[in-house]
Amino acid sequence: MADIMRGLLVGRMQPIHEGHMDVIRRILGDVDEVIICIGSAQLSHSIKDPFTAGERTMMINKALTEHGIPASSYYITPIQDIACNSLWVAQVEMLTPPFEVVYSGNSLVQRLFLEADYKVTEPPLFNREIYSGTEVRRRMLVGEDWESLIPKSVIEVIKEIEGIPRLKHLSKKGT
Ligand code: NAD
């Protein structure tokens, strides 16, 4: 049997949206398996990072199932940030299955993996003005349509964990 090729995607996924789904589908068109790293796993309960790593795992898992992506083709791994950028690739390697290609639009992520001799690919951005975590969270706060930007199963998770009241509470002045 030929060697299995794996690609790695790192993102905070706060929350996972249709832009992330587009890039995951592209990666699975290139390689056999995708490793989805939940970046900044230690962060939650802030406006920029409202959801815990466990909640984000649930969202990603359900979104991939909804889109018919077989569980045998992906791994989901939370990765905490560390103070030393120069050691971060080793931290990722310690927590993930082996991989050959890194997919990222983030210049710091690209730089660190290039210096560690990985192949790095920048996937095209899919409608970035609306498919971004910042835009999804902004709409949640002001009561605009955020549901159309994310998979239906992720809407259900956000309702289950009462994500909108959490975000609105966190946005109150004095917190
Ligand atoms: P993100 O969720 O903004 O994006 C992840 C990736 O998804 C992007 O690189 C891009 O390829 C893709 N994407 C996003 N929107 C898209 C769209 N509309 N269409 C197509 N693709 C789209 O996450 P990020 O900020 O790049 O995450 C990097 C993570 O790595 C952070 O958690 C950061 O803290 C972590 N990090 C940590 C260290 C350290 O701890 N020292 C160092 C480097 C990076």
When pLDDT is cut at 50, 70 and 90, the band that residue 128 belongs to is confident
- Write down the CATH number for the domain with range 6-169: 3.40.50.620
Name every protein residue with a CB atom under 6 angstroms from any ligand 1 atom.
10-13, 19-20, 22-23, 39-40, 81-82, 85, 88, 103-106, 108-109, 112, 123, 125-128, 131-133
- DSSP reduced 3-state for 16: coil
Residue bearing tokens 């409608």:
127
The C-alpha atoms of residue 103 and residue 113 are separated, in whole angstroms, by 10
| pTM score over 0.85 | yes
| Residue minimizing CA distance to atom 43 of ligand 1 | 109
When pLDDT is cut at 50, 70 and 90, the band that residue 54 belongs to is very high
Nearest-5° angle of CA 20, CA 127, CA 52? Answer: 35
How far is the centre of ligand 1, averaged over its atoms, from the C-alpha of 156 (Å)? Answer: 24
Comparing 2 with 165, the larger pLDDT belongs to: 165
When pLDDT is cut at 50, 70 and 90, the band that residue 174 belongs to is low
Summarised one tens digit per residue, pLDDT across range 132-144 is: 999 999 999 999 9
Q: Which ligand 1 atom minimizes the distance to the CA of 123?
A: 11
Summarised one tens digit per residue, pLDDT across range 21-38 is: 999 999 999 999 999 999
Q: Where does 1-52 have alpha helices with state H?
A: 18-30
Summarised one tens digit per residue, pLDDT across range 80-113 is: 999 999 999 999 999 999 999 999 999 999 999 9
The full set of domain ranges for the chain reads 6-169
Q: Which of 13, 81, 118, 137 to mutate to test ligand 1, by most ligand atoms within 8 A of the CB atom?
A: 81
Q: Identify the pLDDT of residue 2.
A: 64
